Chain A
Amino acid sequence: MTAVLYRLVYMSRNDITDEIDTQIDGILKTSRENNRLAEVTGALMFNTGCFAQVLEGPHNAIQATFERIQCDERHSDVTVLLFEPSNKRSFSSWAMAYVGAQESALERFGNLGDESGFEFTALDGDDIYNVLLDNLHDAEAQ
């Protein structure tokens, strides 16, 4: 029996205040390793205000990943927007992208999506992603 695929979408407040470059690099690196082992794919979107993450994979792998992320002090106010079985993966790997308009961050993280293989097309045609993007733009710190 193949494990049922689940999809989790959540948002949280970005509590990183300094050395954001290094921290983001670290998150990208460890997430990639962990998620590869756990058969978890998905995407992390962030800006200076918040994180939004989509995780796809077997239930227990999602649960374990989520628990690990929950214990991370770099974010707070975690809100789950969606957690349900899903019939296909929207993301074939694990990637992250900066989604924001702030100039300074755009300079630093603008290319992150390309580097990490972020598939913006995966976000097309699904209401939850539109909501997510709207929320991200709203939460961007001024």
Chain B
Amino acid sequence: MIDSVPQLEALATGIAIINGDNVIVHANTAFARRLNVDALPYRLTDIDLPEARSRDLLEWQLRDIGESALTVAIAPGRSLTFYIGAQREGQRLIIAASGWPHRDESTRDLAAQLDPLTGFGNRLMYAERLREFEAMGTKAAAVLIIDLDHFKQVNDTLGHGTGDELLGLVAQRIRASTRGNDTLIRLGGDEFVVLIPEEKHCEGLEALAGRLVNLLGRPFLVNGHQINIGASIGVATLVGDSDQLQDLLRHADLALYEAKHRGRAGHYVFQSPLEQRAFDRREFEVDLRRALGLRQFTLHYQPQTSIADRRVTGFEALIRWEHPTRGRVSPLDFIPLAEEIGEIAAIGRWVIRCACEEAMAWQDERLSVAVNVSPAQFADDTIVDAVRDALDHSGLAPARLELEITEGLFLEESESIMRRLWAIKELGVAVAIDDFGTGYASLGYLNSFPFSKIKIDKSFIQAEPSPRAKALISGILAMGSNLGMATTAEGIETLEQYTQLEHDGCSLAQGYYIARPMPAGQIADFLERFCPPTARAS
């Protein structure tokens, strides 16, 4: 093992060469004697030092490939200084000398940055590394924050001594899974951080996080006890922007919170609000595409009553999406997305078909069923097929079905749309104008097609009663009656609104004041108990 260079052998100073793995490959006699190295190869960090802290310091010092020096105690009252040369072609020179006590600021700083329990760095080191990254203009880095689940129970039941030893083993497992240039930090308590100073693909980070979760979930043996804990991990990355270095830990922390929220023993990768929105949208889209297949849609029905005849004339079918985790999703939220991703055709087809089938169960064959149809469904001829198929399949009399379209359909003049409307009309199905007065369309379209109804938007009905508001409503009602179209007031919520509309000659009423939308199963019961609003009031 001893170098055969006589000059080196004569020295009282220890001289050694270590390789990139910190293994001593050459050492002179003085070095071997001072450090009790009896055979090579021997890892420099395995040398027998009385203070575990010294070994940690040496290990940290060696992580830096530049030159440095470190003084450690090798026996009570005796210290040894290591001069560590810069790494050259994977090797570096180590000089071990006593009597040259080295007092270096950097070593003192380093000592203050170490966690004595685990040999990891502490918060100070994390801050110091970030400063270095900033100084170097580091543009890519990643942080994993590891939080132990159920650690407090270990401390509470087995004592802090056992808890501390467990933390040491946790640190070892983390060290075994990470690489030499990763900075390992114990933030405090049972929180650890792996700071990765380079760009790593998301898959690589997730694999590492998954591996750590798995590894830390395996049993530990401490002080004669078997201990099972687990770990949750938050991951955050920095790509191409050193400005956000300071946010890394916060982002990882948010991700950790999410990981815990999703059930412990897992990991989650932080996404910026922008990415998060895109991610959420994607998930929403996937859920929506599955909703039909998973039979998550149902129809509820809101009664429409004739004001003059004081009877129920029909129901408007309203789609409901009941999602197992999202709860009830409003059509205002999912219909625009369905239109955008082209799901609207399939959903619309289902709505028409389901409404026709359910209407067949109603005792009174005069009752109509109204279905909302989105302008997007008029983009091609499938709407006509959908209506025809629904009628054929259910056997519903075409006159009982009414499609409700909005003025938006007429924003652009289109022959094909008119052709489709007429085709539906020829099937014997009625077409009503929904949300009248809100669509900014030219009124000219009213002249181009024999609509069955004008449904006055609820914003007019619910407006503060003023002479101008009243004038607007009575104007619309007059226009409807002159064009030979029935008028429906939507969103009636009070008796005052109802009596005013009755007075003004509105034909049909719909709104919470009459009845809220109800599941198909409640319709028979509702019809049986129905009592016209004015009779109720008097």
Point out residues on A near B: beta carbons under 8 Å.
6, 8, 10, 59, 62-63, 66-67, 70-71, 76, 78-80, 83-85
Please tell me if B219 contacts chain A, counting CB pairs below 8 Å: yes
In the complex, the chain A residue whose C-beta lies closest to that of B216 is A70
A70 → B minimal CB distance (Å): 5
In chain B between 245 and 298, which residues have their CB closer than 8 angstroms to a CB of chain A? none
Q: Which of B169, B218, B222, B223 has the most CB of A within 10 A?
A: B218
Please tell me if B131 contacts chain A, counting CB pairs below 8 Å: no
Contact B169–A67 (Cβ < 8 Å)? yes
Q: Inside 8 A of A84's CB, which chain B residues have their CB?
A: 224
Q: Inside 8 A of B225's CB, which chain A residues have their CB?
A: 83
| Contact of A80 (CB < 8 Å), options: B176, B214, B223, B226 | B226
| Interchain Cβ contacts under 8 Å between A and B, 27 examples | A6-B224, A8-B221, A59-B223, A59-B224, A62-B221, A63-B169, A63-B221, A63-B222, A66-B221, A67-B169, A67-B172, A70-B173, A70-B215, A70-B218, A71-B177, A71-B215, A76-B214, A78-B218, A78-B219, A79-B219, A80-B219, A80-B221, A80-B226, A83-B224, A83-B226, A84-B224, A85-B224
A85 to B215, CA, bound (A): 25
A4 → B minimal CB distance (Å): 8
A63 to B226, CA, bound (A): 10
A80 → B minimal CB distance (Å): 5
A63 to B170, CA, bound (A): 12
Given A62-B221, A78-B218, also A71-B173 (CB < 8 A): yes
Q: What's the tally of chain B residues with a CB closer than 8 Å to chain A?
A: 15
Q: Inside 8 A of A6's CB, which chain B residues have their CB?
A: 224
Q: Inside 8 A of A80's CB, which chain B residues have their CB?
A: 219, 221, 226
A-B contacts counted at CB < 8 A amount to: 33
A59 → B minimal CB distance (Å): 7
Known: A62-B221, A80-B221, A83-B224. 9 other contacts (CB 8 A): A8-B221, A59-B223, A59-B224, A66-B221, A67-B169, A71-B173, A78-B219, A83-B221, A85-B224
Q: Inside 8 A of B224's CB, which chain A residues have their CB?
A: 6, 59, 83-85
A10 to B225, CA, bound (A): 14
Q: Digit string of B436-477 for contact with A (CB within 8 Å is 1, else 0)?
A: 000000000000000000000000000000000000000000
B414 → A minimal CB distance (Å): 61
Q: Inside 8 A of B218's CB, which chain A residues have their CB?
A: 70, 78
Q: Inside 8 A of A85's CB, which chain B residues have their CB?
A: 224
Contact B173–A67 (Cβ < 8 Å)? yes
Q: Inside 8 A of A79's CB, which chain B residues have their CB?
A: 219
In the complex, the chain B residue whose C-beta lies closest to that of A77 is B218
Q: Which of B176, B221, B222, B225 has the most CB of A within 10 A?
A: B221
A63 to B227, CA, bound (A): 12
Q: Inside 8 A of B215's CB, which chain A residues have their CB?
A: 70-71
Q: Inside 8 A of A83's CB, which chain B residues have their CB?
A: 221, 224-226
B190 → A minimal CB distance (Å): 18
In the complex, the chain A residue whose C-beta lies closest to that of B217 is A78
A78 → B minimal CB distance (Å): 5
In the complex, the chain B residue whose C-beta lies closest to that of A55 is B221
In the complex, the chain B residue whose C-beta lies closest to that of A85 is B224
In the complex, the chain B residue whose C-beta lies closest to that of A69 is B218
Q: Digit string of B383-404 for contact with A (CB within 8 Å is 1, else 0)?
A: 0000000000000000000000
A67 to B176, CA, bound (A): 10
In the complex, the chain A residue whose C-beta lies closest to that of B211 is A73
A83 to B218, CA, bound (A): 14
Q: Inside 8 A of B214's CB, which chain A residues have their CB?
A: 76
A10 to B176, CA, bound (A): 21
A62 to B223, CA, bound (A): 11
